């Protein structure tokens, strides 16, 4: 994904990837990510059978 430069690129990116994004009733794609120190990996599937999960996606701008 390159840096998005304008509204047209933003709309195109969203439409492209939203087509494959999970909907209600779909299994959530699993992932493993690390924190801002590059440590403490977290895997989404580790919470199965334990508790619901809220995912908040965003950036600083």
Partner 1 sequence: MSLQNIYREYNQQIQFIKVYIREAHPIDGWWFGKGFMNTLLRLSGSKVSWEIYDPKTMEERRTAAGDCAESLQYGVKTYVDEMNDQVNKDYAAWPTRLYLIDKNGVVIYAGGLGPFGFKPGALKRAIQKQLQEGMT
- Answer yes or no whether residue 53 interacts with partner 1 by CB under 8 A: yes
The answer to whether residues 39 and 45 touch, using CB atoms and an 8 Å cutoff, is no
- Answer yes or no whether residue 12 interacts with partner 1 by CB under 8 A: no
Number of residues located near partner 1, criterion CB under 8 A: 49
Is the backbone of residue 6 left (phi > 0), alpha (psi -120 to 50) or beta? Answer: beta
In angstroms, rounded to a whole number, what is the distance separating the alpha carbons of residues 54 and 32?
Answer: 15
- Answer yes or no whether residue 10 interacts with partner 1 by CB under 8 A: yes
**Which residues contact partner 1 (rule: CB under 8 A)?**
1, 3-7, 9-10, 13-14, 17-31, 33-38, 42, 44-45, 47-61
């Amino acid at each position: 994904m390159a840096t998005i430069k304008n509204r047209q690129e933003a709309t195109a990116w969203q439409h492209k990837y939203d087509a494959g994004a999970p909907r209600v009733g779909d299994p959530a794609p699993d992932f493993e990510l690390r924190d801002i120190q590059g440590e403490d990996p977290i895997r989404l599937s580790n919470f199965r059978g334990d508790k619901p999960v809220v995912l908040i996606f965003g950036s600083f701008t």
